[in-house]
Structure 1
Amino acid sequence: MSADAYTIHPIAHICTDFKDKFGIPRQSGLVPELTGRIVFEPEYRDPNALVGLEGYSHLWLIWQFSTVAAEYAAGKSWRPTVRPPRLGGNVRRGVFATRSPYRPNALGLSCVELVGVDGGDLLVKGADLLDGTPIFDIKPYLPYVDAHPDARGGFTEQTAGYGLTVECAPELLTKVPKEKQAALLGVLQNDPRPGYQHDPQRVYTLDFGANKVRFTVAGKTLQVQEIL
């Protein structure tokens, strides 16, 4: 190991409704109804570490794109330029001008709402993480320094308001647990498709919790075809 290499260990992992990366919101907070449970590893499961946490409404999570890390371990390397999906998948930007998972250390950063503490676990909302994602650190969100209302959003400003109209028959939606229905609709509204796919005949399948959701997209309308 070189002198400038460091080893960090997960302190926790998160449980979410996403067993596959398809459908995960592209940013935290886009679908505030999404719920998650942060489960600490045994050596960090100390209630003293959470004293005072109830005074904060939001948290920063520092985590790893675990699927990308596995690709790196298999020989794949990071990319100096990437093609952001919201730009159609054809325009390249520097990796440090994006939040692409294909970064040198495959680290992610998410801001989530803290709902509460349950038996030593943290209940959060608005997470954009795959189920089982390792978390390296948790820090409180400080609105007086972390919020910058006048900040510029770069190329994302042209796509920030993008969304689809979701059509789903009520009898289909009832197949999803009632407490998760709003979260599912939010995920679909944010358009889970890769930015370069626009075939109105293509049927997509989204794994969401215990359900499989099949849908098509024509123009700016997403039509749910089936929920299993």
Structure 2
Amino acid sequence: MARISADDPPMSHTVTPVGFVRACFKEKFAIPRQPHLAPAARGVLELVPPFDSGEAVQGLEQVSHVWLLFLFHQALEEKPRLKVRPPRLGGNQSVGVFSTRATHRPNGIGQSVVTLERVEPGRLWLSGIDLLDGTPVIDIKPYVPYADSLPAARNDLASAAPALIEVHWQASARLQAHTHGERLGEPLEALIEQCLAQDPRPAYQQPTPERRYGVRLWDVEVKWHYPQAGIICVLQVLDA
């Protein structure tokens, strides 16, 4: 087998998106760090020509989940990182980039397995997503349970889902979320709880009760604070 040496010219390949995600997440902050941690997170993958015909998705109605290969379009970097500081390790410990799913990838490529709710020509309706609105998708592959689920697999850096934080609500904020959720036709209350329970703040921050945080979900702005350690309180859910 021929070996590639440092003297060989670098290989290059052009990747063209097959579609773009229209999602509930309008900014990177508070996006769950893995898919399915927020089942209420929903979106639509809008396919572009020539993949927007019924031919390209024929047979997908028999599939419950799909793998999406996508670009971290807001985290692309010219100089590759060899080590990163994953949130799971507190944001202070460095490990090799290939031992993590950090967004700072050598070629900016991510992958997520998401629930396929509905298939239409040119559109895939998804849930359990962890994708930013506008994310370019470069390929779609069906999830194959017998091949993709490996009972003996292990990952000692991330052996279980992260512990959840308590989420409390001010009564007015819950009412606002309910009203906006009905208008949007989306499970907004559940989405807010599921995302905030992941504790989206940087792991190294120790916020005081006075500090306010906020994020856009769909077309609303969610405001919260940490009244005490280990607890989030949702303060407002307003028009963005």
The structural deviation recorded for 1:149 is: 2.5
Aligned to 2:172: 171
Q: Give the Cα separation in 2 of the matches to 1:150 and 1:32.
A: 25
Partner of 1:27: 34
Report the counterpart of residue 186 of structure 1 in structure 2.
Answer: 194
Equivalent residue number for residue 225 of structure 2: 216
2:3 corresponds in structure 1 to none
- Aligned equivalents of 1:120, 1:8: Cα separation in 2: 20
Matching residue of 1:17: 24
Structure 1 CA distance for aligned equivalents of residues 121 and 170 of structure 2 = 38
Moved over 4 A (4+): none
Q: CA deviation at 1:32?
A: 1.1
Give the match for residue 48 of structure 1: 55
Query: 1:133 matched to which residue of 2?
Result: 135
1:112 maps to: 114
Counterparts of 1:222 and 1:5, CA distance in 2: 46
Alpha carbons 2:30, 2:215 under 8 Å: kept:
yes
Cα distance change, pair 81–226 in 1 and its aligned pair in 2 (3 A)? same
CA shift, 1:180, in A, is: 2.0
CA contact (8 A) 2:176 2:236 kept: no
Secondary structure at the counterpart of residue 114 of structure 1? strand
Instruction: State the structure with more CA Rg.
Output: 2
Distance in 1 separating the partners of 2:69 and 2:169 = 35
Aligned residue pairs: how many? 221
SS at match of 1:155: coil
Distance 2:162 2:201 in 1: 16
The structure whose residues are more often helix, as a share, is: 1
CA distance in 1, matches of 2:83, 2:24: 30
Which letter does structure 2 place at the counterpart of 1:37?
Answer: V
Give the fraction of aligned pairs with identical amino acids, expressed as a percent: 37
CA contact (8 A) 2:57 2:121 kept: no
Could you tell me how far apart the structure 2 residues matched to 1:90 and 1:165 are?
Answer: 24
1:132-166 residue CA offsets vs partner (Å, 9 max, x unmatched): 00000000000001011331122112x62411110
Q: Which residue of 2 aligns with 1:204?
A: 213
Partner of 1:175, secondary structure, is helix
Counterpart amino acid of residue 23 in structure 1: A
Answer with 6-15 or 35-44: which moved more: 35-44
Which of 61, 75, 95 is residue 68 of structure 1 equivalent to?
75
Higher relative contact order (CA 8 A, sep 6+): 1
TM-score (norm. length: structure 1)? 0.92
* Corresponding letter in the other structure for 1:183: L
The C-alpha deviation readout for 1:75-132, integer Å capped at 9, x for no partner, is x422100001121111011000000111110100000000002453100101100000
2:154 maps to which of 145, 152, 162: 152
Normalising by structure 2, we get a TM-score of 0.87
